């Protein structure tokens, strides 16, 4: 069942993307190499430790950081710019990692035995990647972690103990909390989702 979510304005999202691109165009960071791409495509950024990318695809921003030495993925997030402040918060978490202003959250994770958790994003692709990371960590406790697009949620999904939303669908939070309960539906922070961590998730019942 595909759902229509209130609170999403595509034209406003595009205007926000334009404002964010303008903000980033004036960005200057000491001891950081910034190579801007033509037009409004984004930029490549290098530090001594990391290689990073900010890409614009209409009203979608894609953020990527990898270790220069090993090529290991450190941070990945994409999101629609429907909410300017939330988009800027996502960018701040990106720069916190890139500039090593904050450590990447730890990987300690606990949950009640037998808990059922559903991870949702727009299409179900990135939520599936995140769910796999969480499943591997929680499997010894008999925890089941599934993933799918939030647009394919059904009333029967009320059987899950937790429904966790990827940061790119924050606009869906009010509707889903109204349907499934505010105690069951929570946001995953941009930092946790982008780095495959789980520092702030309410996983203990």
| 43-62: pLDDT as tens digits | 999 999 999 999 998 889 99
Q: How far apart are CA 141 and CA 137, in angstroms?
A: 9
Q: How far apart are CA 38 and CA 196, in angstroms?
A: 31
83 CA to centre of own chain: 14
Confidence of residue 203 (pLDDT cuts 50, 70, 90): low
The mean per-residue pLDDT over the stretch 2-10 comes to: 56
The mean per-residue pLDDT over the stretch 85-93 comes to: 92
| 110-151: pLDDT as tens digits | 677 888 999 999 888 899 999 998 888 888 888 899 999 999
pLDDT surpasses 60 at 3? no
pLDDT surpasses 50 at 2? no
| 12-55: pLDDT as tens digits | 889 999 999 888 888 888 888 988 876 668 899 999 999 999 99
Q: How far apart are CA 41 and CA 94, in angstroms?
A: 18
- pTM value surpassing 0.85: no
pLDDT (0 to 100) of residue 108: 63
pLDDT (0 to 100) of residue 19: 92
pLDDT (0 to 100) of residue 205: 44
Whether the Cβ atoms of residue 126 and residue 119 lie closer than 8 Å to each other? no
Q: With the CA atoms of 165, 171, 177 and 179 taken in that order, what torsion angle do they form, in degrees rounded to the nearest 10?
A: -110
């Amino acid at each position: 069942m595909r759902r229509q979510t209130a609170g999403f304005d595509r034209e406003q999202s595009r205007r926000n993307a334009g404002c964010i691109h303008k903000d980033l165009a004036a960005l200057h960071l000491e001891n950081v190499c910034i190579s801007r791409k033509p037009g409004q495509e984004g930029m490549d950024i290098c530090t001594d430790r990391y290689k990073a990318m900010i890409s614009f695809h209409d009203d979608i921003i894609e953020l990527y950081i990898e270790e220069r030495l090993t090529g290991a993925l450190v941070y990945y997030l994409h999101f629609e710019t429907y909410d300017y402040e939330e988009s800027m918060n996502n960018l701040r978490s990106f720069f916190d990692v890139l500039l090593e202003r904050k450590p990447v959250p730890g990987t300690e994770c606990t949950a009640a035995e037998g808990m059922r958790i559903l991870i949702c994003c727009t299409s179900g692709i990135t939520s599936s990647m995140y769910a796999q990371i969480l499943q591997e960590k929680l499997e010894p406790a008999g925890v089941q972690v599934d993933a799918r697009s939030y647009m394919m949620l059904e009333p029967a999904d009320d059987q899950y103990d937790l429904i966790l939303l990827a940061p790119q669908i924050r606009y869906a939070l009010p509707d889903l909390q109204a349907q499934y309960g505010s105690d069951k539906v929570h946001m995953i922070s941009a930092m946790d989702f982008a780095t495959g961590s789980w520092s702030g998730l309410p996983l203990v019942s």
